[in-house]
Amino acid sequence: MPPSDAGDPIRGNPIFAGLPPRELTALAGAARETSYRAREYVFSEGDPAVVFCLVKRGHVKILRRAKSGKDVVLDLLGPGEAFGGVAVIERRPYPASAQTTEPTVVTKIPQDVICALADRYPSIVREMALLIGERLRAAHATVTSLASDPVEARLASALVRLADREGVRAGSGVRLPFTLTRQSLADMTGTTVETAIRILSRWQRDGLVLEADGHLVLPDLEAVRVLAEADTR
C-alpha cells in the first residue's frame, strides 16, 4: 500500500516504518528525484539494478516482453508505491521494465544506501518480501486472466482493480485520478487498442463508463465488478 502522505514517498512508507527519525532524515538526504516525460523508461528489463525507486508523482507501469514480442503490463503504480527494490537488494538485474504513463517524478535511493540500511534494519527486507508477494499474486492473476478470460471481463477487471486502489468518490461515481489511455488499457489486458476502444465506447453508450476531463469515471462500480466476474466463474 502507498504511504498516507503521497507527497513524501519515504516518510510513512510501510517499507521504512521500522526506521528511527534520524535514519529517515539521512535516507531522505541520500535520495534523488528524477522527472520524466510520459512514456519514458525509468529502467529496462535486464538493466543493472542500481537504484530503489518510489513514485512521488504520476504513474509508472511495470511491463515484461512476452515471447511474441508484445509488452505485457503487470502493474500500474501510483504515488507512494515502490518498485525495483528486490532486484537492488539481491544485486541482480531488473526483472521487468518500468515506464511512465504521464509526466512523473521518481524518488531514487542508491543501491549502496538501501542495502546498508537493510543490513541494519531487517524489517526493510521483510516489508519488501510482503510487497513482492502481493505483486506476484497480482501478476499471477493477470497472466491467468490473459490465458482464460474474455477480453470484456479482463477490461472490467482492470478498471475495478484501479478503482479499488486509487479511485476517488465523486458525485458522478468513482473517478480514476489519472489519465488512462486506450493503449494502456489494451497493454494491461492483452488485447488490441481497437478492441479496447470498441468495448469502452459501448460501455460509454450504456452508461457503465463516463469520461470527464480525460479521466474515466465509473458511475456504478459494482456493476462493472459484476461484469468482471460474470464470465470468469
User: Hey, what's the cell of 98?
Assistant: 518500468
- pLDDT, averaged in runs of 10, over the chain (233 residues): 55 90 93 95 96 95 80 86 91 94 95 94 89 71 64 90 88 85 84 92 94 90 88 47
The strand order across the sheet containing 32-36 reads: 32-36, 104-110, 51-57, 82-83
- CA gap 92, 55 in Å, rounded: 21
For residue 132, what are the contacts with CB-CB under 8 A and spacing of at least 6?
A: 85, 86
φ and ψ of 109, to 5 deg: -115, 125
Predicted pLDDT at 172: 81
- CA gap 19, 35 in Å, rounded: 27
The residue with cell 465506447 is: 201
Please give the domain boundaries of the chain with CATH numbers for all domains: 14-146 (2.60.120.10), 149-230 (1.10.10.10)
φ and ψ of 225, to 5 deg: -65, -40
DSSP conformational letter for 38: T
Predicted pLDDT at 171: 81
Of the candidates 89, 226, 84, 228, which has an alpha carbon nearest to the alpha carbon of residue 155? 228
Predicted pLDDT at 139: 63
Write down the pTM of the prediction.
0.78
Chain centroid to CA 138: 11
- CA gap 114, 131 in Å, rounded: 16
- CA gap 76, 158 in Å, rounded: 10
- CA gap 179, 156 in Å, rounded: 17
